[in-house]
Amino acid sequence: MIDQLILKIRETNNPTVVGLDPRFAFIPSRIKEEMLDIYGKTPKAIAKSYLAFNKTIIDEVYDLIPAVKPQIAMYEQLGAVGIQAYIDTITYAKSKGLVIIGDIKRSDIASTAQSYADGHIGLIDIEGEKFEIYKEDFITLNPFLGIDSVKPYFEACKTRNKGLFLLVKTSNPNSGQLQDLKIKNQYLYEYVGGLVSKWGEDMIGKSGFSKIGAVVGATYKEQGIRLRKQMPHTFFLVPGYGAQGATAQDLAGTFNKDGVGSIVNSSRGIIAAYKKDIYAEFGELNFAKASRQAVIDMRDDLNSVL
Amino acid sequence: MIDQLILKIRETNNPTVVGLDPRFAFIPSRIKEEMLDIYGKTPKAIAKSYLAFNKTIIDEVYDLIPAVKPQIAMYEQLGAVGIQAYIDTITYAKSKGLVIIGDIKRSDIASTAQSYADGHIGLIDIEGEKFEIYKEDFITLNPFLGIDSVKPYFEACKTRNKGLFLLVKTSNPNSGQLQDLKIKNQYLYEYVGGLVSKWGEDMIGKSGFSKIGAVVGATYKEQGIRLRKQMPHTFFLVPGYGAQGATAQDLAGTFNKDGVGSIVNSSRGIIAAYKKDIYAEFGELNFAKASRQAVIDMRDDLNSVL
């Protein structure tokens, strides 16, 4: 799937992934009121609002982008109805040809990791019948438990053409508290980067990149540059652009000279674009058209530095 | 809730938490066949089997134990129906007076962590109506992203009497790959232990323990002893006993001299006890009675070293 992702980035000329992280405050009143009318003041009304919101945005932007990244927390917090909306969002995005990066950041011991792997990127076997439950193409994982917590996902990567993005240097303000600790002559995030590139060595595709990628926050410019040099065969998922404060210039160093190497996430900056002054002209009714314009502007902004 | 947990441990004289990590292979044919009959070969049949299995075990052991720890991966892998079974398991266990430790090991940036916190241990506000979705008393978290990924959970700990167990030294074979790295004069797990005890300083209850606990694997005896000394006000959730290979002797050092300080998890060893030779006499029909005997044996084994 890493090769397909890179191909789609080339086709759209856009290394952007749209983060589908809906919040109730982002939902236009038209959708919100319709769902509250049908389902009452219930988690189901919110979940259905998120799905309708996502679909409208996907319809407006799918031709411009290679991928979407739903953040499972937004859905999971609503319980079973939320998880259904997460799955339905993925199904819809796939029907539009988009690559799916499930932002789940799971971490657990091997036997438990196997369960996550089966559900998210593998198959669930029920008395001989196989079910794909979540159907993500990629998922994010937290490597704090070491290789045995990550290995159970490799089989699906190899046999089902899936991929992973492992947290190496995250975009949040305090990511350095652990990740920037000094281990002998390197920082912890560099050490983790070294592990991640080693783990992905035997899964390098035609694109020259491995199915095992890394999460590298746009908010840490120098670290991004260092990791890009250190991990030439590792594709980066780069969060932190826009709402979290990073600019295109900050993250340019996570790309190779040929403009390949990363996919940059923006969530609020795109899905809630209509709430920003510069896109206010679209109005709440045309919220998805504001998202489309925000995608175009982000694409052009990124391409101006690549 | 930490004070209530410790009180319940004293009342039952049993520092055991039963891990409700069902697998299809553990489900007795009677339950399995009934559910496959009703729901066909579907994820729902499995989810309903897990719930029925859990309830039967809870009925047989609730008077002997302080708490249960459902592992969300087992349920999540089945999609929305699985998440519903996770929630229904929690609701049932709470109705029997058990403390709930949701083993979710989430990790994310602050805005996302807030969504997990609201859903799992806080409240979801829908146009002024408040919903408790998951209703765990404690949840586990992975601290690899640093304090801003953990802080969003503190409000629910303080205002809603909830608690956390943060990964410090995990029980899996390769946990040392990151956690045992040397940082100046200490290991990473000790450094994380120091952070966790500092983060919990202002949440110490009457029991002398903080609402912010730590996960410390029973499989690492020396590290457990060191952490117990280093973190006198931090309660430990100790996995790794039984199926993962650790003995009561291995984990004795995670307790204080007065026999308080940890709660020890066993999952497969209890819920699938009927599959072990020593409990085979119970037979598949009486699987939950085998679990009851396994709880009694584990309690006596733990108490023999405390």
Angstrom distance (rounded) from CA B153 to CA A132 = 32
pLDDT at A292 over 90: yes
Angstrom distance (rounded) from CA A35 to CA A197 = 45
Q: Which residues of B are catalytic?
A: 105
* pLDDT at residue B244, rounded to an integer: 83
pLDDT at B33 over 90: yes
* pLDDT at residue B125, rounded to an integer: 97
Pairing mode, strands A186-187 and A262-266: unpaired
pLDDT confidence band for B81 (50 / 70 / 90): very high
Cβ(A83)–Cβ(B83) below 8 Å: yes
Interface probe with A: pick from B172, B195, B216, B265, most Cβ of A within 10 Å: B172
> How high does pLDDT run on average in chain A?
97
Question: How many domains does chain B fold into?
Answer: 1
**Residues pairing with A262 in the sheet:** A236
* pLDDT at residue A244, rounded to an integer: 84
> How high does pLDDT run on average in chain B?
97
**Cβ separation B147–A42 shorter than 8 A:** no
Longest dimension (CA), chain B: 60
* Nearest neighbour of A87 by CB, restricted to B79, B107, B112: B79
Stretch A235-264: mean pLDDT: 95
Phi, psi of A2 (to 5 degrees): -60, -40
Q: How far is B49 from chain A (nearest CA, A)?
A: 12
Cβ(B163)–Cβ(B2) below 8 Å: yes
pLDDT at B153 over 90: yes
* pLDDT at residue B242, rounded to an integer: 87
Domain containing residue A122: 2-303
Percent of chain A's residues with pLDDT above 70:
100
Which of chain A's residues have a Cβ under 8 Å away from the Cβ of B87? 79-80
Torsion of CA A89, A93, A98, A101, to 10 degrees: 0
pLDDT at A243 over 90: no
The two three-digit tokens of residue B96, written as one number:
């029997």
Interface probe with A: pick from B41, B109, B132, B198, most Cβ of A within 10 Å: B109
CB within 8 Å of chain B, chain A residues 67-86: 71, 73-74, 76-84
Q: A192 to chain B: nearest residue by CA? A: B178
Alpha-carbon dihedral sign for residues B180, B183, B185, B186: negative
Please name which of A228, A229, A235 lies closest in space to residue A205, comparing C-alpha atoms: A235
Angstrom distance (rounded) from CA A59 to CA A262 = 24
pLDDT tens for each residue of A124-183: 999 999 999 999 999 999 999 999 999 999 999 999 999 999 999 999 999 999 999 999
**Cβ separation B41–A127 shorter than 8 A:** yes
The one catalytic residue among A55, A94, A96, A105: A105
* pLDDT at residue A130, rounded to an integer: 98
CB within 8 Å of chain B, chain A residues 211-240: 239
* pLDDT at residue B265, rounded to an integer: 98
pLDDT at B5 over 90: yes
* pLDDT at residue A269, rounded to an integer: 96
A123 touching chain B per CB within 8 A = no
* pLDDT at residue A300, rounded to an integer: 98
Residue with tokens 């003995």: B247
Which of chain A's residues have a Cβ under 8 Å away from the Cβ of B184? 182
- At B236, which amino acid appears? F
Question: Domain with B47 in it: what CATH number?
Answer: 3.20.20.70
Residues in chain B: 306
B119 touching chain A per CB within 8 A = yes
pLDDT tens for each residue of B241-253: 988 889 999 999 9
pLDDT at B217 over 90: yes
pLDDT at A95 over 90: yes
Residue with tokens 């995608």: A295
Q: B240 to chain A: nearest residue by CA? A: A109
Angstrom distance (rounded) from CA A107 to CA B45 = 27
Which of chain B's residues have a Cβ under 8 Å away from the Cβ of A148? 172-174
Angstrom distance (rounded) from CA A40 to CA A45 = 7
